[in-house]
A and B are shown apart, each in its own frame.
Chain A
Amino acid sequence: MAQKNRLPDGGRIDRTKPVRFQFNGKRYDGFSGDTLAAALLANGVSLVGRSFKYHRPRGIMTAGSEEPNALVQLGTGARTEPNIRATQAELFDGLSADSQNCWPSVGFDIGAINSVMSKYLPAGFYYKTFMWPASLWMTYEHVIRNAAGLGKGPTESDPDRYAQHHTACDVLIVGGGPSGLAAALAAGRSGARTILVDEQSEFGGWLLTDDTEIDGMAPTDWVANTVKELAGLDNVTLLPRTTVSAYFDHNFLTAAQRVTDHLGPQENTKTPRQRFWKIRAKQVVLAQGSLERPIVFADNDRPGVMLAGALRTYINRYGVLPGREIVVFTNNDSAYRTAIDAKNAGAVVHLVDLRPDPDNPVVHQARQAGIQIHEGSAVVGIKGAKSIHGVEIAPLSEDGKSLAGPTFVVSASLVAMSSGWNPSVHLFSQSRGKLRFDDALTTFVPDHTPQKTRSAGACNGTFTLAGCLAEGMEAGAAAAKDAGFDSAIAGPSHVVKEDAPGSMRQVWTVPTVHPLGKGTRKHFLDHQNDVTAADVHLAAREGYLSVEHLKRYTTTGMGTDQGKTSNVNALAIMSEIRSASIPEVGTTTFRPPYTPTTYGAMAGQGVQELFEQYRGTAMHDWHVNNGAVFEDVGDWKRARYYPKPGEDMDEAVRRECKQARETVGIMDASTLGKIDIQGPDAAKLLNMVYTNAWSALKPGRARYGLMLNEHGMVFDDGVTTCIGENHYHMTTTTGGAARVLNWLEEWLQTEWPDMEVYCTSVTEEWAVATLSGPKAREVMEAVAPKMALDPQTFPFMAMQEGEVAGLPARVFRISFTGDLSYEINVPARYGMALWEALMEAGRPHGIVPYGTETMHVLRAEKGFIIVGQDSDGTVTPYDLDMDWIVSKKKDDFLGKRSLTRTDTARPGRKQLVGLLTEDPNFVLPEGAHLVKEVKPKPPMDTIGHVTSSYFSPNAGRSIALALVKDGLNLKGSSFQVPLMSGHVETVTITDTIFFDKEGERARG
């Protein structure tokens, strides 16, 4: 299909590389180097999408990332992306895009009924209605939600990959236009590690559109030379297609690089689709340029109304003339260049200038070129809705508030507008920079920032090319100097011949034939969110005067463009209404990111199999190969049970529990936290961090301890063993390992620096297999023939070092099951060998591997607590009925004083008890509550809750532990446990030991 608006020559597109694409199902042709917007305009497509609220037909307004209107759904299936700016999407062969937020089609959209109803839908209408009847709100909301929302998200996993990249540099330069390129030359030549970032596909910025010569060269030639020089410098990194998205503290900036987006879907997904840069820069030069302001006039949202600079870009950079009859509407000189270029490209051009007497060289040039100039006039309306047929023009009164003569219509299909330029101060503001309002430029410019950053060029309010180049050079050199480099070799300054910019005339709201808000014509401010000038007046009338209230009430600046084209206009109109200056009205905070940033890119490589990698023990593969079902405990994967074919969890656990008590079980206990503690003051440390006394513990002996925080609450427990003189091996809970080590270090380093103690995490150094059960000693005898295993030499709570299965080992006679147990520690690399040897040696004795679930049952049968399950951070040792472990003799230990506070020492606190259900086969759900009295329905007063609950094959019934108010005084009493299912179970409070009450088995 012919590209009817493509100029016969010119532009930076590659006409030797035609590209085919689809839009709304229709096929079109474009060229390599086009954006989707350029190609659509080349093909005469001006209606691209529908607006958020009124579903007004919309076209293409800009040529960059600030586009509010031309948002499309790009691609299909797993790779579909909503809200892509057609002005940024580079064309590739096979690209397919669709209009969004319209049904059934962009041409005929049912949602446009909202536009007809628009007089009933002013800013904030939803706060005033949908309240009756109250019960219908969820229905109203359903309708509202479906009407809102722009494009559609994908519903499948993303087939593409992303990467994160960390780097540091001396000078980071944001923006590759004239100022940025000049800055890069200066910094690069100094030898500073320099990164130059630009969001577009090629460097040059405005120079790719403009024709002002630099050093006697065409600007594009100067760009090419400059980029060539920079590319040849090893210390310079060039990042096109990269958007610096955010500026954080201490010169930390993030940037999103679009690596393959311009190529379309890639077969080879090893190359990341986007790369997310995290950059720590010694110095930053911001050279982001500026964004053109739209004029707020009636019907300024019609497809075919675009920014003057954008039109010039389409003509010069893309070789597209989107209309043959063009009205250029301006308040400043810059749009004259657009008019002249359009005229030269073959268009009939009318210039409508708000200024009554523009008088600059460029004005004369335009006149000489045969362009009709309507001075002191304005565009006051547009003929046509989905496209433009004509433009209404009228002279303006001196105050700009009314029309000073009759309107007339000129035939046109395109309007190019310019109300001046706003420096891109977004990143500067994010850097905590303070802005200053420049009255001459009628816009905000950078003032000062606490960070090491400089603004140069248009983003600093400098709008001449010579000024941009000079400022860029200076900023680049100064940044390099401050980063410690010799900037004397920055290079010569550049020679540019240009005219000084003329004056501007601000008419913040251009009047039309009817008063604002009282006719069919709307003055749009925020095109995406359909906020009009009348909405600002309404907000002011209702008292939403603060700029933040204005923004939030009208939603101006809240769209995907974050107000890049609308914010200053909205502020200006509010300032007129309030008769206050614009700086008095203020400006909203610019929030990151500069443009929307892909979540996948920010997540980087850390997704799917690389999302929080698990920790496995040395014996992990054995568990996998033997059918273990795992549970997540922190980062660890722990074997939970080992089902035999056909077994469910209950069956497997009952079998494991029985067998472990009858013969011998083996469990992988490697995940327990282990800390090696050495030094002359080690016992002193233990005395402070544990509640019980440690001074008398002899080498080769172990002791159980509880740790309290300073609130007096239990936060970890474990067995610590004296390995030798001034040498201890501490164990912690699996989840508490890091916390306990940090706890010890905190006190040692900050409070007790005089103690000579060294703590080292050895969790990963040791693999631990626990043998437990009556036959445990027989298995040990088989694998450790040289060890003395008789109970006299190697009693309960003792440790000895020796050889197990030919491996160097520490064996602890400690028990979490209440049975004869050996915890065998070997260096982690021998873990698998140990495990296999124990299995082998245990086979004649009927050894059974058991997992954490069986461990939980076995320990509960003995009433051994699990910190974090039977205690919860609000429980003291006394609450656990463990008075015996709190030393009465020690002067102090961590948390001691808290135990005597009025509430902590209060009788009747929740205390740990055992529960027996009336029905011995009924297993209470963990978390079920005991109540004072069962009522037909809640609320019911509760007195406690079940912390652990299992069927105990060894007790032959269900058992439970619970925290119950005053529980220790209620033993023997019965209470009821109501469940959501309607079942009510009666329970009797008991002690916490359900098996081997005498505790002989472990000592045997």
Chain B
Amino acid sequence: MSKYSIFSLIRNAGSYHENWQRAWRSPDPQPEYEVVIIGGGGHGLATAYYLAKECGIRRVAVIEKGWLGGGNTGRNTTIVRSNYLLDESAGIYEHSVKLWEGLSQELNFNVMFSQRGLLHLAHNVHDMQEIGRRGNAIWLNGIDSEFLTPEQVKEMVPLMNINGRYPVLGALLQRRGGTARHDAVAWGYARAADALGVDIIQNCEVTGFDIKNGVVQGVRTTRGDIKAKRVGVVTAGHSTVMADMAGFRMPLESLPLQAMVSEPIKPCIDTVIMSNAVHVYVSQSDKGELVVGAGTDAYISYAQRGGFDMMEHIMGPLVELFPFTSRLRMLRQWGGIVDVTVDRSPILSKTPVEGLYFNCGWGTGGFKCTPGSGHVFAHSIANGEMHPIAAPFSIDRFNTGALIDEAAAAAVAH
């Protein structure tokens, strides 16, 4: 892998950029690998990269039905944070943020991880109690966490209306939170994994598993059968489709999630802002687009599109919180399929089939954990035992009741 730098850029300019190497090869699948990863999104590619880099397993294939990073990796609102309430969540998300902090250098690919800070706004007494609890929990987990007054919020985001229908009473700030360039994460991991010998096989769809006596032997694909004693499934919205092929159930629903961007404008919002009570989250991309996320539709759909009402529901809140946006225009909206668990926490787990591992259930928030999830999942597959950070996210929790319920912990009632 030839190194990217300002110098390589200047050198290649001299030869009209004709000597750049391919970022990754397009190999044909081999008959057998040590590990097959199904799903060429960020999490799958990261898993392959860490298997090769840290676990000494280089005979790895990543099998992707379409194009790399084409699922939720390329469709999310790129928010990165680790300000989670519960210890288990803080464990995995903070592990991830720490990896983010060196990722551009690690991959020699600028993923534009921008630690511009992330604000959770509190608009009522219940919100204040919620951020109070979470802010302290985060801080005591050794993660950066600050409480802001409404005046401090206004100073950080001068264009915010803090005296609207639901006035801003305070905010929780994680300065190390921010955004990253989503495509670059997939490409960076793909290029680095490829350089370590990982075969990345695009346009190859898995059609079934070869399972004997409860042990996985390999996968069947549209490009032939591939043997592997260990298979990691990282297919987000299609995880239950994979589970059905393997003959077991996964507690997931695949729901449409939409987002949108505005036309690009000069910088006007310098942090990420999330508001549960007003129902909007927004940031501004480096290109200048305001990136705004909507909620999930409540019905299962694999259509990668959602209803207009979900978009419409965030327009009022957006204009309420940021009155200046009224005259801006929506440039593009799109949808993805998110795989949602009952407790809104992911599943990183062994399965009833030996050698078959699942990494799914990231719901609306998987992008931020791309490095962390890939890292602990790789170690879990390599060692045959779930990594301690991943262990609480086992599928067994739905039997024992040991849910990791971030959503319920913020439940609204009075």
| A touches B in complex, CB < 8 A | yes
Residues of A within 8 A of B (CB): 52, 79-83, 119-120, 122, 125-132, 134, 137-138, 141, 144-146, 148-158, 160, 162, 246, 248-249, 252, 254, 278, 432, 517-518, 534, 538, 541-546, 548-549, 552-553, 560, 562, 589, 591-593, 596-600, 602-604, 606-608, 611-612, 614, 631-634, 640, 711-713, 715-716, 733-736, 866-869, 872-874, 898, 901-904, 925-929, 931, 937-940, 942, 945, 947, 978-980
Cα distance A871–B98 when bound, in Å?
A: 32
**A867 near B413: Cβ-Cβ < 8 Å:** yes
Contact call B13/A120, Cβ cutoff below 8 A:
yes
Given A131-B5, A868-B414, does the pair A153, B325 have CB atoms closer than 8 Å?
Answer: yes
Q: Are A633 and B267 neighbours in the complex by a CB distance under 8 Å?
A: no
Q: How far is the CA of A119 from the CA of B10 in the complex (A)?
A: 8
Query: Contact at A868–B126, with CB atoms within 8 Å?
Result: yes
Partner of B413, one of A156, A517, A715, A942: A715
- In Å, the complex CA distance between A463 and B203 comes to 36
Q: Annotate B297-324 by CB proximity to A: 1 below 8 A, 0 otherwise.
A: 0000001010110011001111110011
Known: A612-B165, A712-B401. A927 touches B4 (CB 8 A): no
- Distance (whole angstroms) from the CB of B413 to the closest CB of chain A: 3
Cβ-defined contact, B4 with A129, below 8 A: yes
Apart from A541-B20, A607-B326, A901-B400, 15 more pairs, CB < 8 Å: A127-B109, A129-B9, A141-B112, A145-B267, A153-B265, A160-B326, A549-B67, A592-B332, A596-B329, A603-B318, A608-B320, A612-B165, A614-B165, A712-B401, A902-B400
Known A138-B114, A927-B131, A980-B147: A82·B265 in contact at CB below 8 Å: yes
B405 at the interface (CB under 8 A from A): yes
Q: Which residues of A contact B24 (CB under 8 A)?
A: 543
CB-based nearest A residue for B14: A119
Distance (whole angstroms) from the CB of B199 to the closest CB of chain A: 14
Q: Please provide the 6 A-B residue pairs with the shortest distance between their CB atoms, ordered closest to farther.
A: A927-B132, A873-B408, A868-B413, A149-B288, A596-B329, A927-B133
Q: Which residues of A sit under 8 angstroms from B307, Cβ to Cβ? A: 248-249
Of A131, A153, A614, the most chain B CB neighbours within 10 A belong to A153
Task: Name the residue among A122, A543, A733 with the largest chain B CB count within 10 angstroms.
Answer: A543
List of A residues within 8 angstroms of B188 by Cβ:
127
Is A632 within 8 A of B123, CB to CB?
A: yes
Question: Are B102 and A735 in contact (CB-based, < 8 A)?
Answer: no
B67 and A926 within 8 A (CB): no
The residue in chain A whose Cβ has the minimal distance to the Cβ of B130 is: A927
B113-140 CB contact bits vs A (8 Å, 1 = yes)? 1111000000111101111111111011
- Residues of chain A contacted by B129 (CB below 8 angstroms): 869, 926-927, 947
- Knowing A155-B159, A602-B315, A611-B164, say if A902 contacts B401 (CB, 8 Å): yes
User: Min CB distance, A412 to chain B, in Å?
Assistant: 30
Chain B nearest CB from A982 CB (Å) reads 12
With contacts A157-B323, A868-B414 taken as known, whether A128 is within 8 angstroms of B318 at the C-beta atoms is no
- B31 CB, nearest partner CB in chain A, Å: 24
What's the Cα separation between A980 and B114 when bound, in Å? 26
Chain B nearest CB from A594 CB (Å) reads 11
A925→B329 CA distance, assembly (Å):
42
Q: Is the CB of B136 within 8 A of A928?
A: yes
Q: Name the one of B21, B142, B181, B326 contacting A599, with C-beta atoms under 8 angstroms.
A: B326
CB distance from A253 to the nearest CB of B (A): 9
A105 → chain B, closest Cβ, in Å?
A: 17
The one of A125, A148, A158, A898 in contact with B323, judged by C-beta atoms closer than 8 angstroms, is A158
CB <8 Å contact, B132 and A154:
no
The reply to whether A131 and B413 form a contact with Cβ atoms under 8 Å apart is no
> CB within 8 A of A544: which of B23, B123, B411?
B23
Are B264 and A711 within 8 A (Cβ)? no
Evaluate contact between A736 and B413: CB separation under 8 angstroms: yes
Chain A residue with minimal CB distance to B15? A518
Name the residue in A246, A541, A603 with the highest tally of chain B Cβ atoms < 10 Å from its Cβ: A603
- Which B residues touch A138, using CB under 8 A? 114-116
Query: In the assembly, what is the distance between CA of A604 and CA of B330, in Å?
Result: 14
B104 lies within 8 A of chain A by Cβ: yes
Contact with A along B157-172 (1 / 0, CB 8 A): 0010100111000000
B132 (CB) vs chain A CBs: closest residue? A927
Is A713 within 8 A of B408, CB to CB?
yes
Contacts A128-B4, A538-B17, A868-B412: A599 and B318 contacting too (C-beta < 8 A)?
yes
Do the beta carbons of A929 and B124 come within 8 Å of each other?
Answer: no
Nearest chain B CB to A264 CB, angstrom units: 14
Bound-complex Cα distance A552 to B24 (A): 16
The CA of A945 and the CA of B137, in the complex, are separated in Å by 9
Docked pose: A685 CA to B105 CA in angstroms: 62
- Contact check, B414 vs A733: say whether CB atoms are below 8 A apart: yes
B102-A134 in contact (CB<8A): yes
Quick check: is B1 within 8 A (CB to CB) of the other chain? no
Among B140, B320, B412, point to the contact of A978 (Cβ < 8 A).
B140
10 examples of A-B residue contacts, CB within 8 angstroms: A128-B9, A131-B104, A151-B265, A598-B326, A608-B320, A612-B316, A614-B165, A867-B414, A938-B140, A979-B136
A298 to chain B, nearest CB (A): 15
Q: Give the docked Cα–Cα distance between A93 and B136 (Å).
A: 58
CA distance A634 to B411 in the complex (A): 12
Chain A residues within an 8 Å CB radius of B187: 127, 553
Interface residues of B in 205-263 (CB under 8 A from A): 262-263
Interface size class of B (residues with CB under 8 A): 35 or more
A517 pairs with B139, CB closer than 8 A: no
Complex Cα–Cα for A145 and B141 (A): 33
By beta carbon, the residue of chain B nearest A101 is B266
Q: Which residue of B lies closest to A713 (CB)?
A: B408
Q: Residues of B contacting A904 with CB < 8 Å?
A: 400-401
Separation of A593 and B166 alpha carbons in the complex (Å): 30
Question: Once the chains bind, are A711 and B403 in contact (CB under 8 Å)?
Answer: yes
Q: How far is the CA of A604 from the CA of B315 in the complex (A)?
A: 9
What is the bound-complex CA distance between A904 and B288, given in angstroms?
48
Q: Mark B65-95, 1 if CB is under 8 A from A, else 0.
A: 0111010001000000000000100000000
A847 to B125 alpha-carbon distance, docked (Å): 27
**Which residue of chain B has its CB nearest to the CB of A519?**
B16
- When the two chains form their complex, are residues B315 and A603 in contact, meaning their CB atoms are under 8 A apart? yes
Task: Report chain B residues within 8 Å CB of A631.
Answer: 124-125
Minimal beta-carbon separation of A526 from chain B (angstroms): 13
Closest to A560 in B: B263
Q: How far is the CB of B404 from chain A (nearest CB, A)?
A: 9
Residue of B135, B264, B320, B408 near A611 (CB, 8 A) is B320
Residue B383 lies at the interface, judged by CB distance under 8 Å to chain A? no
Please state if A928 and B324 are interface contacts (CB–CB under 8 Å). no
Taking CB as reference atom, which chain B residue is nearest A640? B125
Shortest C-beta distance, B287 to chain A (Å), equals 5
Residues on B with beta carbons closer than 8 Å to the beta carbon of A155 = 159, 268, 324
With contacts A128-B8, A541-B18, A872-B408 taken as known, whether A901 is within 8 angstroms of B123 at the C-beta atoms is no
Q: Which residues of B contact A125 (CB under 8 A)?
A: 9
Q: Which chain A positions have C-beta within 8 A of B288? A: 145, 148-150
Contacts of B104 in A (CB 8 A): 131, 134, 137
Q: Are B286 and A144 in contact (CB under 8 A)?
A: yes
Q: Are B265 and A83 in contact (CB under 8 A)?
A: yes
Is A898 a contact partner of B326 (Cβ separation < 8 A)? no
Q: Are A633 and B124 in contact (CB under 8 A)?
A: yes
Residues of A within 8 A of B123 (CB): 632
Q: Which residue of B lies closest to A925 (CB)?
A: B132
Tell me the complex Cα distance, A931–B74, Å: 41
Residue B26 lies at the interface, judged by CB distance under 8 Å to chain A: yes
Report whether B308 and A246 are in contact in the complex, using a CB–CB cutoff of 8 Å: yes
Residues in B with CB closer than 8 Å to A603 are 315-316, 318-319, 326
Taking CB atoms, residues of chain B closer than 8 Å to A145 are: 267, 284, 286, 288
Decide if B316 touches A611 in the complex (CB within 8 Å): yes
Question: Smallest CB–CB gap between A614 and chain B, Å?
Answer: 7
B102 to chain A, nearest CB (A): 7
Q: Report the Cα distance A290→B266, complex, angstroms.
A: 32
| Nearest residue, chain A, Cβ from B409 | A872
Contact between B265 and A942 (Cβ–Cβ < 8 Å)? no
Distance of A980 Cα from B136 Cα, bound (Å): 8
In the assembly, what is the distance between CA of A8 and CA of B116, in Å? 58
